[in-house]
Structure 1
Amino acid sequence: MTKNIVPHRHTITRADRVKKRGYEPILVWLVGLSGSGKSTLANALEEKLFKEGLNTYLLDGDNVRSGLNRDLGFSDEDRKENIRRITEVAKLFMDSGTIVISAFITPFEKDRQRIRAIVGTENFVEVFVKCPIEECEKRDVKGLYAKARRGEIKSFTGIDSPFEEPVSADVIVESHKVTIEKALEAIYKVVKEKISINE
């Protein structure tokens, strides 16, 4: 942080917003290969929480890269910066009292640990949407794997760039084995426990 920057202390705090809303704002981060079902589950989770009257916001990979992070490529350094920016944005949303749901490949364990460090483990739920690359390629709704196989996309996770499986995920969902409903149920249970306030 630049020495001439002094963060302003606001009158209304996160604790005030928690008290008003009645639940803890957290960050739910879904990781996994492209095509594993992260966005589908993230969307279903937000819909369920929103219907319960909770304040939510969904951050999704392509959406963020088309705006905030449109200047970043897919080198290891750019991916690291992509995740850092998203985490800082999520932290601001959380401070506002919002439950943030993020769906990003997030291939490197070091970056996932950095997310925990920034927002705090107590405010973080890591969901590993586990799915074999063979199944992800079968789905390939965006045609990305086919392009990567042809060499049209470089540094594509799972093809010519690694994906390090999470070592400390709070929830592991094998999306090729269970229904969306069952997967959502497993995630929802952990999220509800995390946002509850211990009176």
Structure 2
Amino acid sequence: MSVVEPAPQIVPNFAEVKATVVPLEDVCDMTANDRQLILASSAIAHIVLKVICTDQEELQSKFERMKQVLRNFFEFVRLATNLSLAELIYSIWLVSRFSEKEAENKLKRMNQEQYVSVIQESNIGTVLLVSIEISQKLLRDHAKKNTYWAHLFDLSVENFNRSEAAYLKWLDYSVWLDEEIFNEMFQAMLL
């Protein structure tokens, strides 16, 4: 039986990096560029696969494919909603928190055969979609409505609303990203 490691923290140590100071309102207006979408795709693929996969070999075999699928997803969302860099960063952080919570629960219930993982390959898209939707609700004055997201991805509004409610409950309704962590993630996206 292989041991599942806790989900990784995506914020590296930037003690040596000289910060670029950008006012927050400017960050919220910066559209995510291709390089940043690639970085986000890699980070999320690694975070989620670390929770889903039972061993490193399985993770490696799925990583490139998932990274490409996530990049396509982000490109589509960027075109449909003008996805900002701040929203992208916030989404990565939310997925990381969601995955960390999953890893914690998995470790707590490791000996229970009945444990069903919340994050599965079949619902990664929903987890990511809800992360982006919540990010935009938090960071925009006029965010897209759930009906927009549901129609954009051909989902029922009821299922999307339930997914959002379950997501928020899973995170104990704690979705506020610490400014220091945001700044570190922002710097990583600019490097």
Higher relative contact order (CA 8 A, sep 6+): 1
Higher share of residues assigned helix: 2
Higher share of residues assigned strand: 1
In the superposition, the TM-score normalised over structure 2's length comes to 0.30
Q: Which has the larger radius of gyration?
A: 1
